[in-house]
Amino acid sequence: MDVTIFGSGYVGLVTGACLAEAGNHVVCIDVDPDKIALLNSGGIPIYEPGLEELVSSNHAAGRLVFSTDAAFGVQHGLFQFIAVGTPPDEDGSADLKHVLAVAQTIGQHMDNYRVIVDKSTVPVGTADKVAACVQAALAARNIDVDFDVVSNPEFLKEGAAIEDFMRPDRIIVGTDNPRTAELLRALYAPFNRNHDRVMIMDVRSAELTKYAANAMLATKISFMNELSNIAEAVGADIERVRVGIGSDPRIGYQFIYPGCGYGGSCFPKDVRALAHSARAIGYEAQLLTAVEAVNERQKDLLFQKIHDYYRGELAGRTVAIWGLSFKPNTDDMREASSRRLIEALWQAGAAVRAFDPAAMDETQRLYGDRPDLTLTPDAMSAVAGADALVIVTEWTQFRSPDYAEIKERLTDPVIFDGRNVLDPTQVLAAGLSYISIGRLPKQPSSRQTSPS
Ligand code: UDX
């Protein structure tokens, strides 16, 4: 089938590459000529395991074409995917200007029936706005062409996006038109394996499903983070509590890991946008507001712990940080907890030595050259000469480090484990102090000495 995808960002590229891999002819359109030139020369603008290979093999096979020519894109695909960004407005609502600009472009160029597919995460009611935009553009041309607007949200996790697309838990198709539903079902047939994963529903329910999924997951995390603070206060171990409650299948083990807060391009933005949508129609989403507030507080927690440990004497200290991306297997630092910590440390007069397996270029891009930031070539170099080590992202390579070497390199042998990934017994046995998110043994009391 012929498919056009507007937006060659994260969602658009993964969707395009996977649909091409299934044998479709895909044209990816983007307004950014540099991005299209990079893609045509075999590069990709984002870090996602397996994506570069998938893009280049399908590009070489002629099934995946990149262009800035929107008219060509509209002519090409029966399916017109909208996969452009919906950045948050100042008030937290999703900004639809890119989505509606694509809708207008489609209306300006289409001459035959088109299925317009909203892939971007968009507030309930957006499909109606897209339809109105297309209709207005057609009316301005004085022509009448049939089209449908479908909501087909993505549920891709960064770092596992290709696997998520190839083996989806569910394929949500929001449309009231049975003929369009069948077209989408046919397009997704290669990915609809073992049992029927296509769920057809009305457009608004499909749009809300995406927000509901992310809000639910964010709620689980904030709930556990809240519990971890209570555990710490009452002298319980959150990791034991986690295993204890996860064994109940109604609760489950997934997404109940406490830590220094969730980040990324989806959870923070979507929780805020959903709360905003609710408020706009006069409903105060108290739970969502609390989920967001707990996360904001949790992102400050590591700094608070470091601050308390050193009794506020942070000026002149150096802190080693392992992990800068918002989660492992990505270089994405959007809303990353590391940023909150680094900026608070700088504010308090401390310097940072940092290492991340993927996000070094991104950190450099964000912060540039500064005397209080040293990016090191490996994890152990970050620790050299630092006072404390802080683990902010749970990359696998940080899980069982050489504790003796860490102890030797740190001036003040203490580890702040923002993701509870280390084995406290081993850390303590190596003669290091250990401060975690809500685990026993009890946190050591604050240090007495002044900066070295
Ligand atoms: C998320 C959703 O999982 C995905 O379905 C949706 O399409 C987009 O948003 P992603 O942003 O890639 O995907 O990240 P995810 O793996 O879900 O992790 C989000 C954040 O939650 C990370 O910062 C992670 O560290 C944190 N997290 C996750 C926890 O703190 N505890 C957990 O138990 C799980």
Could you state, in chain order, the average pLDDT of each consecutive group of 10 residues for the chain (452 residues)? Answer: 96 97 98 96 90 96 97 98 90 90 98 96 94 98 97 94 96 97 98 96 97 98 98 96 97 97 94 94 97 98 98 98 96 97 98 97 97 98 97 97 97 97 95 96 50 40
Residues 264 and 360 in one domain: yes
- The answer to whether residues 261 and 174 belong to one domain is no
Q: What is the pLDDT at residue 448?
A: 46
Q: Classify the phi-psi angles of 415: left when phi > 0, otherwise alpha if psi is within -120 to 50, otherwise beta.
A: beta
Residue 451 pLDDT: 43
Residue 450 confidence (pLDDT): 43
Residue 171 belongs to a domain with what CATH number? 3.40.50.720
The pick from 170, 171, 221 for probing ligand 1's pocket by mutation, whose C-beta has the most ligand atoms within 8 angstroms, reads 221
Per-residue pLDDT at 265: 87
Pocket of ligand 1 (CB under 6 A): 154-158, 214, 217, 221, 255-257, 259, 262-264, 266-267, 326-327
- Residue 212 shares a structural domain with residue 197: no
Nearest CA, atom 13, ligand 1? 157
Q: How far apart are CA 360 and CA 142, in angstroms?
A: 53
Q: Note if the bond before 441 is cis, omega within 30 degrees.
A: yes
DSSP helix/strand/coil, 151: strand
Distances (CA, A) of 206 to 54, 139, 203, 210: 28, 28, 5, 7
| Paired tokens of 372 | 């209080």
Task: Report CA(41)–ligand 1 centroid distance (Å).
Answer: 32
**Pairwise CA distance, residues 352 & 338, whole Å:** 11
Question: For residue 107, what are the contacts with CB-CB under 8 A and spacing of at least 6?
Answer: 133, 134, 135, 136, 137, 138, 140, 141
Question: If you compute the radius of gyration of the chain from its CA atoms, what whole number of angstroms results?
Answer: 24
- 216 shares a domain with 156: no
Distance CA 284, CA 397 (A): 43
Residues 319, 345 contacting (CB under 8 angstroms): yes
pLDDT of res. 447: 53
Same domain flag for 197 and 236: no
Same-domain status, 171 and 291:
no
Cα end-to-end distance, the chain, whole Å:
66
Q: Report H helices in 254-333.
A: 267-280, 286-309
Q: CB–CB of 269/88 below 8 Å?
A: yes
195 and 273 part of one domain:
no
Helix (H, G, I), strand (E, B) or coil at 38: helix
Range of the domain at 314: 202-452
- In 3D, which of 408, 406, 409, 417 has the Cα closest to residue 441? 417
Question: In whole angstroms, what separates CA 268 from the centre of its chain?
Answer: 9
Do 248 and 377 sit in the same domain of this protein? yes
Assess contact for 78 and 184: CB atoms under 8 A. no
Q: What's the pLDDT score for residue 221?
A: 98
Q: Are residues 332 and 444 in the same domain?
A: yes
| Residue nearest ligand 1's atom 14 by CA | 157
Quick one: pLDDT at residue 55? 96
Kindly tell me the number of DSSP H helices and DSSP E strands found in the chain: 17, 14
User: Of 104, 96, 118, 100, which is closest to residue 74 (Cα–Cα)?
Assistant: 104
| DSSP-assigned letters across all residues of 222-239 | HHHHHHHHHHHHHT--HH
Burial 63-89 (b: 16+ CB within 10 A, else e): bbbbbeebeebbbbbebbbbbbbbeee
> What pLDDT score does 445 carry?
47
Report CA(215)–ligand 1 centroid distance (Å): 11
Same domain for 56 and 115: yes
CA of 277 to the centre of ligand 1 (A): 22
Picking from 183, 201, 219, the residue at the C-terminal end of a domain is: 201
Looking at the structure, tell me whether residues 153 and 107 fall in a common domain: yes
- Which one of 255, 266, 391, 392 would you pick to mutate in the ligand 1 pocket, going by the greatest count of ligand atoms within 8 A of its CB? 266
Q: Atom 9 in ligand 1: which residue has the minimum CA distance?
A: 266
153 lies in the same domain as 261: no
Greatest CA span in the chain, whole angstroms?
78
Residues designated as active site? 266
* Residue from 267, 269, 270, 322 whose mutation best tests the ligand 1 pocket (most atoms within 8 A of CB): 267
Q: 20 vs 17, 29, 63, 100, 243, CA distance in Å?
A: 5, 14, 6, 25, 42
* ipTM > 0.90, yes or no: yes
Q: Out of 201, 229, 259, pick the residue that ends a domain.
A: 201
> 269 C-alpha to center of ligand 1: Å?
12
Among 140, 168, 201, where does a domain finish?
201
The answer to whether residues 119 and 15 touch, using CB atoms and an 8 Å cutoff, is: yes
Count of domains for the chain: 2
Q: How far apart are CA 448 and CA 452, in angstroms?
A: 12
